[in-house]
């Protein structure tokens, strides 16, 4: 039995245009799959491809055991990205996805593999400000309560059949996110843009400049209307910022 290459396992192509000159690779928040970024396809500029990370335990990988180690997730993403380095690319990660993207970029740097031209860290405090939390979130209700605490709003959480399908992946992702502890060492050399929702109660905009401790390149910050999931309504502006970072 042939094992699929890392990009086929862990990445999904959401949209493309002729004469591709750059790629946007998105990493979803805890519990999210590649389809989280499907709405972005309609606003993709000419010449770009849109890719999204698909970690195990969700959507078309529902039968694969979920991960509980963020660095392992980052290693899998880094291995997949090596198949895309023939074009410039930007990494965009939201919440947990921002940490996965950051760590994946660090791994590529240590391996001397071309990394992202730009990292967009959305809805996430600087890695060294992340405080590990060993709360087990052992029951489905604890997971639902935590999702609602951080601002996730979906009728799917009220449906028992849907909960039975999605809660295991979310539970592992939250453990992965909350157990993460930053390790000093490799700095990035690409610019970082930090975006947060102005009404996000969990990610203060005042913390955004702290990402400058993690790269030797410039760090830009931006505040957009909305809460922790501000990007659901702001993706056209976000895509414009991303494309500008590659073409400007």
Q: Quick check: is 228 catalytic?
A: yes
Burial class (CB in 10 A: 0-12, 13-18, 19+), 37: buried
Strand partners of residue 13? 51
Q: Whose structure tokens read 């060993």?
A: 134
- Selected catalytic residue, list 94, 95, 118, 208: 95
CA-angle at 145, arms to 70 and 11, nearest 5°: 35
| Angstrom distance (rounded) from CA 195 to CA 172 | 25
Check the CA dihedral 143-168-176-31 and report its sign. negative
Query: Residue 232's closest CA among 136, 50, 88, 94?
Result: 94
Q: For residues 52 and 94, is the Cβ–Cβ distance under 8 A?
A: no
Q: For residues 97 and 26, is the Cβ–Cβ distance under 8 A?
A: yes
Strand partners of residue 51? 13, 25
Largest alpha-carbon pair distance within the chain? 51
End-to-end Cα spacing for the chain: 45
The number of residues making up the chain comes to: 248
Q: Quick check: is 122 catalytic?
A: no
- Selected catalytic residue, list 118, 228, 234, 235: 228
Which runs of consecutive H residues, i.e. helices, occur in 15-155? 70-81, 96-110, 140-149
- Catalytically active residues are 95, 228
């Amino acid at each position: 039995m042939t094992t699929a290459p890392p990009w086929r396992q862990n990445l999904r192509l959401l949209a493309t245009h002729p004469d591709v000159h750059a790629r946007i690779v998105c990493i979803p928040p805890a519990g999210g799959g590649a389809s989280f970024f499907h709405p972005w396809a309609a606003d993709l500029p000419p010449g770009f491809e849109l890719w999204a990370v698909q970690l195990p335990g969700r959507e078309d990988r529902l039968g694969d055991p979920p991960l509980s180690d963020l660095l392992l997730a980052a290693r899998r993403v880094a291995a997949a990205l090596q198949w895309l380095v023939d074009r410039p690319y930007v990494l965009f990660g939201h919440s947990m996805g921002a940490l996965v993207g950051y760590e994946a970029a660090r791994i590529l740097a240590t391996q001397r593999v071309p990394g992202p031209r730009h990292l967009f860290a959305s809805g996430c405090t600087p890695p060294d400000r992340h405080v590990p939390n060993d709360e087990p979130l052992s029951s489905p209700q604890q997971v639902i309560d935590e999702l609602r605490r951080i601002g996730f709003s979906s009728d799917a959480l009220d449906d028992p059949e849907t909960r039975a399908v999605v809660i295991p992946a979310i539970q592992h992702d939250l453990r992965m996110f909350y157990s993460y502890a930053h390790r000093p060492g490799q700095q990035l050399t690409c610019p970082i843009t930090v975006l947060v929702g102005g009404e996000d109660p969990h990610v203060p905009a005042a913390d955004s400049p702290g990402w400058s401790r993690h790269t030797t390149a410039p760090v830009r910050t931006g505040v957009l209307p909305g809460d922790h999931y501000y990007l659901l309504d702001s993706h056209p502006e976000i895509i414009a910022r991303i494309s500008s970072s590659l073409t400007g």
